[in-house]
Amino acid sequence: MSARILVVDDVDVNVRLLEAKLTIEYYDVLTAGDGATALTVAAEQQPDLILLDVMMPGMDGFETCRRLKAHPLTRHIPVVLVTALDGREDRIRGLGAGADDFLTKPIDDVVLFARVRSLTRLKQIMDELREREESSRRLGVEADGVARMRSEGGRILIVDDDVVQAEKIASELSGEHRITIESNPEAALAVAKGPLDLIIVNVAAQSFDGLRIVALAKSGDARRAPVLAVVDPTERSRMIKALELGAADVLSRPVDSEELAARARTQIRRKRYTDFLRHKLDSSLEMAVTDALTGLHNRRYMTTQLQALVGRASHGGAPVAVLVMDIDHFKAVNDGFGHDAGDEVLVEFAVRLATNVRAVDLPCRMGGEEFVVVMPGASLEAAGSVAERIRRDVAAAPFRVLGGKEQLTVTISIGVAVTTGQSDTPESLLKRADEGVYEAKAKGRNLVIAKAA
């Protein structure tokens, strides 16, 4: 995965070393030798990640980070502070300055690229979310996804047979997150099937294979939850294997509380951004095939489904019937009581329609006061029976509108048609049913007319 990374350090050797490592992995690398230059480059070039050294003359890394996070053009860019090996105080100050993560010197390549991959993916997800929200704002649609993603902590599962370590991790995180601890791998995987924001696995566990837990978690029901692997820094091969199996990040033992909090927060944010975008995509797809007023399928969805069903019927498959229905004298409702009342009638009619069709049927709104029901596998007689049930239910009780102030008598005219052979098309089927509607209206309305081929 390619990304643009800004490396900031006043020591040229450090800059060149990081630049070489990142370039070999096909990252696009920008460099800066001081904080002021970093602010300018970040605003102009919009990198996906900034690796920022703490100890710099003049404007140090903490102040540079604060300014980056305060500027509207750069506040969304992840910043990783590079600190000394014993720089725990630096980490705490860095988190206070708004840093998203930190690396300790000397930098381990495996850890470096784990951090880079994790945070650049998060940045790309956030960029997509920001673009969608900006589009929503231009269209006048409510857009508060980023704000809602900053809400309360997440649900975390700790899988560890080291009771002391597990309790320490839980204690450090419980103030912000909801914690479950499991030492039994089977029980842990069962918990992982539920909603989780993060799984923390001790891959150095003695009583179970932690790497297998990582693999099973990333291939099963919990695969959307990121995995944070707790590793022994001396077991480099195990660390590499955990990342290969799908762990999003690694945490070295003994666990440092500030590092733990930062890693957990980063992974949960990424999970929530991803979930939000997935939800938005599902909602967009649903909106594309759903009528906004009634909640029924729309014309586009009906056309696609009917085309497929008629095609199968014309090649020897099960027949398909359609009901075309029109609300009688609907214009009089709008003219006499207003369009709000008309909308209420349409919504109530959709409810009565949907509750009187079969589970396999597709009730749809074609537009205005015209509705269609697509009925896979139905004969003309069976479709006519359903149509008559709908007609009776609509006419049986008045429609209450305008807060119950008005009660309207509503009736419908329905035309029924069913496929008969290879010559049928969706258009010809709908036309026959539509002819039934016109005939029902000509005969006084509130009728069902079935039209044979």
Catalytic residues: 369
Q: How many residues does the chain have?
A: 453
Tell me which DSSP letter residue 255 carries.
P
A 10 A CB-CB count for 29 gives 18
Classify each residue of 250-275 as buried b or exposed e, where b means 16 or more C-beta atoms within 10 Å of its C-beta: bbbeebbeebbbbbbbbbbbbbbbbe
Sequence-distant (≥ 6) Cβ neighbours of residue 65 within 8 angstroms: 52, 79, 81, 94, 97, 98, 99
Letter for the amino acid at 432?
R
How is the beta sheet containing 412-418 ordered, strand by strand?
A: 362-367, 370-376, 320-327, 412-418, 448-450
Widest distance between CA atoms in the chain: 92
How is the beta sheet containing 249-252 ordered, strand by strand?
A: 178-182, 155-159, 198-202, 227-231, 249-252
Measured distance CA(161)–CA(206) in Å, rounded: 7
The SS3 of residue 211 is helix
**DSSP for 279-293?**
HHHHHHHHHHHB-TT
Sequence-distant (≥ 6) Cβ neighbours of residue 331 within 8 angstroms: none
CA-CA-CA-CA dihedral for 23, 24, 26, 31, to nearest 10: -10
The SS3 of residue 386 is helix
Measured distance CA(272)–CA(17) in Å, rounded: 34
Spatial contact of 169 and 260, defined as CB atoms under 8 Å apart? yes
